[in-house]
Structure formats: C-alpha cells, structure tokens
Structure 1
C-alpha cells in the first residue's frame, strides 16, 4: 500500500514504506524521552511506539512530582490506537503528540489530558550528537527476541507542565535529560506460546545516561545469567552548549550544532553494585569508563528516588506495549512513592534518579541522570536467584 512517505528517497527494501522489512509481529519503531529539574523535584518521561505488523500504536507520558519527599507521587496517562498506514500520521496517539522540528536536534512533546491530570508543551534541544549504540541482537534457542538499532542523545528542555491544574515552567538552563530512538524487533504485544522451553526466563539490563555541566556520559550493559555480556556501550560526549572559537573571531561564540565533535566511544565499560536488601534495585553503584587511550574514569551514582517504567507501559498489566486496546483508548493512573513492593513484576523495571560524581581522568564533576534497572531471573555475579526474588 502506497503512502505519502513513498515520495521521498528513503526506501530500505523493494517494498513501499508501509511494509516492514520483516513480517515479525514484534517489529517496532519507538521514541523515548526523559527530563528532570536541577532540584530533582520534577521528573518526567514520555514514550511512543508503532507496531506496524500488529496494527497498533501507543504512547504514555509520566511525571514524578516532589521526588524524594514524603509527598512524592507518580502520575501517568496512557493512549493506544489503531496504527495508521501512512507514517506521517504516526506522531500522535490520542492526547499525546511527538513533533520532530529538526531531526536529531529539536523535538517537541505536547500532551493534552487534563481529565487525567496532565498537560504539557515541552521542547527538547540537543546537548550532544546522537550516539548510535552497538547493534542489539539476542537469540533464545532458534528464536530471535531482539534485533534492533538504538540511538541515545542528551539534551535540555524548555516549556511547561501542568499537573492537576498546577503549572510549572521549565527553563533550558535548569532542565536536562536525554532521549532515545530504537527500531527493529523486540518482544511486544500479547504473549503467545513459544513451544518447548529452551532457557529459564532471564534478562539483565543496566542503562545510565548522565548530564554534567560541560559533557555527558552514557553506559549500558546486557548480561546473561553468568555475567557474560551480549551487549555493552560507553560514550563521553561534549555538551553543545559549551563555548568555542570555532569558525568565529569571537572566542566566546557558542558552538554551532554542526561543529560538535562526535561522542567518544569507550573501549570498555565496567561496574560494581550492591542491591537494596530484599529488592532488585541498586543501593550503591560505580561505573568505569575505559577509553582506547589514556587512563579510565569512574562515575559514582547516588540513588535519590525511583521512577517506575510501568508509567510508560513497560511491564504494565493493562497498558503493555503493542497490545490491541481498540480504535482509540485513553486512561490514566497514579501511585504514591515509594511503592510497597519493589519485587512485584510490574515494579521491577525502574529508572532511579541519581546524583553523579566523577573521578580519574575526567577530573571531579557533579551531575544528574538516571540508572535504569530491569533484572529478571538469576544473575550469578550479583547474587540474584529465582525470577523476581530480592537480594
């Protein structure tokens, strides 16, 4: 079926754009965004996914208010619709819209769901170039469960968020975060029989994008139950809001976006952690950024509070990704923080807001970011057993 995007020279197969390169039901194309204020009292995140072979599109927006205080709460809005055939219509799901203003540089999120307590108009502007992570490929037995590309990019936010009628203005100098884009194949939608079992359920994922004043660091690992890694990446990126005399007679002229140096990929990354007793959530965490040349740097992450990815549909019992809900359905939910049981299946996947401190080759700097944790099944190096058993 032809669509408007077929008029552009973007084809990667011999078929129209509306037809995916794979007929796998789990083909997906997804946005993720996160942001936080310097005082960490407000944390927000958004996600939007398209699942062409399931004919579903969905999106969520989620906010933590008064993070780290006795009044902390997480408020969410979810939406799901029949996926449009024409990709130019795929940027809106119900009250949630993602607009690409300038590719790889500026994007905008608009949410209009006052009946669920959330309205916003937020613009993301890059601090770093987009970083293409090593390709994700994971196979269980003969079944490919992940085959995808992902980019991560650091940025700053401006605009406003209204929560339960109270509006907060966000300034780009005080609100930072990151975004990612991924596409390919990964498990989504209603669970289906997979035949004979070939392995115990297991997934180990750590992801830590951190913003500092003049740069950003990025880290992630996926590991098997015995600690062998099937994916890892590490980058250090100079912030685009630094100043430089590049192509200018004015030594204080801002760096033009096009003149930013590419992020520097690390030769290796490593980490050390301890779990909060009785949970699969991190209590202490240190990561090492090991460059190709020169000495390494260490980043110590201090947990502040948790954001539950269920607010964006991850592990959500009702609003999971790629699940058919109807032609258009919208709903909201909320809960107090911290939750009572961090080992409940819907609460295992979290992003922990962290304060970060560097040492080593990078010198001493302080920053803010998140440490995402999604750990299912045994993980021998860190002492986890069972499916959701706590440490």
Structure 2
C-alpha cells in the first residue's frame, strides 16, 4: 500500500489506502467508456480506459470508424499506485467537472489518430440497477454502472484529416463502471462448465433533439431476465429522469447474430409508452476497444508500457466471429428522429429469439 493524491480526499471506503481495493478477486476493475457520432452518423468513435488493481495493469483504446475502416490506437502498462493518474500511452481522461464535463485526449502517435475532446453532459447521470450474476456458487458479476448522454466539442485527426465537433450536433454517451466482472484471461481454477456458454446482452443509449433514452436487457437462455433498465430523460437545462419498464422486438440479419432492425418499448408508470424503431447502419467492433480481443483484452499483460494500433475493414469482418458489436443506428420515436447505438451480444441459446446452439445464425 502507498499514500497517493487520492488519499487526501474524504472518499475512503476501507481502512486501506486508495490503491488497495476491498476484494482480492482478480477481476475487480474500474473503467471509463465513451462514444460519439457525427450528425449524419458517417463517423463514429469509441474510447475505453480501465484499471485492474489486482492484476497490476491499466489499459486504454481509442477507435474510430471513417469510410468503412475502423482504426484503433491502444496502450497498456503496469498500474502504479496513483489511481487518479488516468493516462495510458497517448490516451488520457481528465474529469473537468464531475458528472458534467470530461476531457479525452489522444497525443500524436505512430497510428495516425489524434484527439482533443470534451464530453458535455446532455442529461442527468443514470445509476443502472446493480449487476449481480453467479456461476454456480461463485459471483462472476458484481458491479455498478453509471451511464450519461452528452455532446462533444473539440477535434479529431485521422491521417491528417480533421473533424471539428460541435456538442449541439455531435452526440454520444459515456459510462463508468466498477466492481467485479470477467476481464483479461480466463480463471484456470476448478471444473470446466457443463453447459453451453450463454450470454444475451442488449444496451442502447439513444439521443434525440429533445429526449435521451436508455434501454438495457440481459436474459438467460430461457428468456428469464436477470438485469433490465429503462429510462427516459429530458436534456439540460430542465433535466428530468423517468424510469420505465422495457421490452423489445428484434429481427436478425440472415446468417448472422447482428440486428436487421429492432423496436424498443419504454413504458413509464405514468404516461404513454414510448416506442422506438431502430435502423442499424453499420457495426462498430468492440474488439477494437479490447472486448474479447485475444491479445489486447481488458487487463491482459502485454508489457511494461506498450502502444499499438490496428485497423479493421468492416466489409471484410465476419459477423459470427464478432458477436460483440455496437450497431450505429438511426432511431425514430413517433415524429422524433435521433441517433445512437444498439450494443448486443447473443452467444449460445436464447429461446425468445430462436437461437438454439452456441453460434447458429438467424435463418
């Protein structure tokens, strides 16, 4: 343990210094995620940064889609004791005004991506219901996530091409989650699982000119919901938050487990249900931010202080080899038109959508 700048704040939750977390579980993490999209949805970017105190690793990635190419710059290093040092390689996150304004920068690097951006909150932050899931008698998920909608200012450069972002039209969302969930390599202990792996995950933060919405559903193979949340928000300056019951209708693209279309229903206790039609435009591969990437997965050791980059040609990527995507989408709710993402993983059987095996595609 070591005294660090964070220890000067009245924020302690244990008798330990801030660099030591409450559990010895290898999968404890603390993580930022951001996304943003141009007004015509032709440009999309995602940012992630995570700390894994019990693994001694911190990593980050910035990934952007332009003209059908998803570019990535990523970095990883040994985590030092100062948990407030949110910088890895060329990528840094700075909290300018908590719950309102955060800065994301990407310094010049060999992979042709630079950025100096500020996320400005459009909505109140949403504390999603606590995530808790067991595998046998062992908790594998036990974490909290806060999600918030916003707009972006600043600039992004890709190979010398510059994009200037205006928060009135370049929208997006962010989340901050922390706790226990599977990260990095698999835990080798114990007996192998008896059942086919299964995970059904939907998450859709959406932006309209006068509304923001959040929908998320996670279900077991038989359709039993183990997590769900729906929220309808009005933007600042008159920000409000209304919780809603959630439901969905999903249509999958033939031969894949990616969406062809979707309808989300948010039903507040008082008031008319809000039905949102989702029209996916193209995928953003979450492996570009480390999700499931075999070498650059979250919390995986790649070296003391390493910076790397890659690119994916989206038209050449196979959907069944990329189950975890955010599908950049146009969305409509009555006369309202907006933009957002529908993030999904459909792995293994899921009775409500007709999947029976590990990777059987939609007919």
TM-score, normalised relative to structure 2: 0.97
CA distance in 2, matches of 1:82, 1:275: 41
CA contact (8 A) 2:90 2:109 kept: no
1:167 pairs with 159, 162, 166, which one?
Answer: 162
CA distance in 2, matches of 1:21, 1:223: 29
CA contact (8 A) 1:353 1:369 kept: yes
| Structure 2 residue aligned with 1:278 | 255
| Structure 2 residue aligned with 1:226 | 222
- Asked if 1:318 is matched to 2:295, the reply is yes
| Structure 2 residue aligned with 1:177 | 172
CA distance in 2, matches of 1:162, 1:26: 34
- Asked if 1:58 is matched to 2:54, the reply is no
Please list the CA deviations of residues 150-200 of structure 1 after superposition, one character each: whole Å capped at 9, or x if unmatched. 000000001111101211111122200000000000001111224222532
1:144 pairs with 117, 139, 142, which one?
Answer: 139
Deviation at 1:292, TM superposition (A): 0.9
CA distance in 1, matches of 2:263, 2:108: 39
TM-score, normalised relative to structure 1: 0.90
CA contact (8 A) 1:208 1:370 kept: yes
CA distance in 2, matches of 1:204, 1:194: 25
- Asked if 1:337 is matched to 2:314, the reply is yes
CA distance in 2, matches of 1:336, 1:225: 32
Deviation at 1:222, TM superposition (A): 0.5
Deviation at 1:215, TM superposition (A): 1.2
| Map 1:102-251 → 2, pairs under 5 A | 102-196=97-191, 197-240=193-236
- Asked if 1:18 is matched to 2:14, the reply is no
CA contact (8 A) 2:35 2:45 kept: yes
CA contact (8 A) 1:141 1:198 kept: no
CA contact (8 A) 1:120 1:160 kept: yes
CA distance in 2, matches of 1:355, 1:194: 44
CA contact (8 A) 1:125 1:157 kept: yes
1:386 pairs with 338, 353, 357, which one?
Answer: 357
CA contact (8 A) 2:295 2:302 kept: no
Question: Match of 1:288, SS?
Answer: strand
Aligned residues: CA RMSD: 1.1
CA contact (8 A) 1:59 1:78 kept: yes
Deviation at 1:295, TM superposition (A): 2.4
Distance 1:110 1:134, change over 3 A: same
Any unmatched runs of 5+ in structure 1? 67-71, 241-254
Any unmatched runs of 5+ in structure 2? none
- Asked if 1:368 is matched to 2:345, the reply is no
Question: Match of 1:114, SS?
Answer: coil
CA distance in 2, matches of 1:8, 1:337: 45
103-112 vs 168-177, greater mean Cα deviation: 168-177
| Structure 2 residue aligned with 1:350 | 325
CA contact (8 A) 1:270 1:287 kept: yes
Question: Match of 2:319, SS?
Answer: coil
| Structure 2 residue aligned with 1:87 | 83
Question: Match of 2:316, SS?
Answer: coil
Deviation at 1:383, TM superposition (A): 1.1
CA contact (8 A) 1:29 1:183 kept: yes
CA distance in 2, matches of 1:87, 1:46: 19
288-297 vs 208-217, greater mean Cα deviation: 288-297
Runs of 4+ in structure 1 over 4 Å off: none
Deviation at 1:140, TM superposition (A): 1.1
CA distance in 2, matches of 1:371, 1:299: 12
